[in-house]
A and B are shown apart, each in its own frame.
Chain A
Amino acid sequence: MKGAPTYTEQELVGLLKQRTQKAFSYLYDHYAPTLNGIILGIIQDHEVAGDVLQEVFVKIWRQIEQYDAAKGRLFTWMYNIARTTSIDMLRSRDWKNSHRNHSLTEDHAELPDRRTNYGEELGLRRIIQTLKDDHKILVELSYFQGYTQEEIAGMLNIPLGTVKTRIRAAIVLLRQQVKL
């Protein structure tokens, strides 16, 4: 960024489609730490997050032709790739094998509201520190662990409508609290 040219999203998409090293270098320098924050927020493991980050860049690189500016920002598109790739890793056999002690029930035991070491949260997960507990659980399960609203309703034994309402309320609160 220091003295280097800055591109608009539109210009960057054009550069990426040329697949030059310069385009990659710009993309990496400007987005890798932010994407890594998204990935680490979900994975909470630097080593695994490094593998996921590489996969995210591979997907961006190979699927840039499929990006449609009419459907949203390039950043939102890349953010979604980072989040879904991270969730996929959480669901993968490799991850489950290397984190066997984290069974479903133990995941509940590790929900942020019961953790004591909030200060050690990595990346985007720090965003939920300010939420109250019943909202925190819902954001944890839906956003950071990728469960559907139906699954969460079953896990917490509360009505689906309540899950939906609380998730939306929690996100609105997050957006209001986190302002630049």
Chain B
Amino acid sequence: MDIQAYIQSGVIESYVLGIANEQEVAELQRLQHEYPDIAAAVAKCEAWLSQTLPSFAEPVAPPDKEKIWAALQEPAAVINKGAREIPMQPAGAKRVAMPARYVAAASVVLLLASAAFNIYLYGKYTKANQEYLGLLNERTNLLSDNKIYQTKLSTLQENMQLMTAPEMLKVTMPGIAGKEQSLATVYWNTSNKKVYLMVNNLPAAPAGKQYQLWALVDGKPIDAGMLEDCKNLCPLKTIERAEAFAITLEKEGGSPIPDLSQLFVMGKVQS
């Protein structure tokens, strides 16, 4: 090995200055034990460094001496406190981690508690929802009932207007002998000749049968209309002239001639 070439290569300066790589450092440390010339060259370079660097010294502010002395008196752990120092280790690296199984156990407990609470809440939700649907249904029923009553009330009001009108002629038709319980009333508008029938009491018509109103004109019965499913004042036909009104039970749809054996009520027009 050419010792002089090695010494002059600059590797010793690199080593002393701290910029030699690991391989160069290992090699030099081995060689300086073997070759005193190399060891001497290293010592010479170190001397050069210690004599040269003071020429590049920079003054330090006087308070720094006291500050640094104070820092040296602190316990090792708090030396770097407050200073903008290099973080020696990533923050939190030394934090003692909770054993994984405790974490896992805690997670399971939390999960179970959460699941139980969810079931409880779902139960409450279902019950409340059922109650809500019940109330909603009830409200709909009440509203529709209300509509029905309103319709009935307005019909009754209309009927009342008709019955109490001054041109309206009232013809009471009591039950004939043997059918005294029966009663019906004709309201006859003397100006437009319209006939309305109010059934006060008639037996329910048997299947296939229907009540028919007749007007007696000059002793002859004239069809005045069929009694449909009508609970209040039922508008029937227009009759120009009549001496009396009567109701018979006829076949469904009515007959041209009344079956007098089935006569229920009859009333004369009071002129």
Contacts and interface: CB of A to CB of B under 8 A. Distances in A.
B65 A32 contact: yes
Contacts of B51: 180
Q: Interface extent on A, as a size class? A: 35 or more
B60 A33 contact: yes
Contacts of A54: 64, 67-68, 71, 83
A167 B8 CA distance: 13
Contacts of A62: 76
A175 B56 contact: no
Q: Is the interface of B mostly helix, strand, loop or mixed?
A: helix
Contacts of A169: 10
Q: Interface extent on B, as a size class? A: 35 or more
A61 B52 CA distance: 24
Contacts, number: 136
Interface string B180-195: 0000000000000000
B28 to A, nearest CB: 11
Nearest to B72: A61
A171 interface: yes
Contacts of B76: 62
B79 interface: yes
A51 B57 contact: no
B18 A84 contact: yes
Nearest to B74: A58
17 contacts: A24-B68, A32-B60, A33-B54, A37-B56, A37-B57, A48-B84, A54-B67, A55-B86, A61-B72, A73-B47, A76-B50, A92-B86, A123-B57, A167-B19, A168-B9, A171-B17, A180-B52
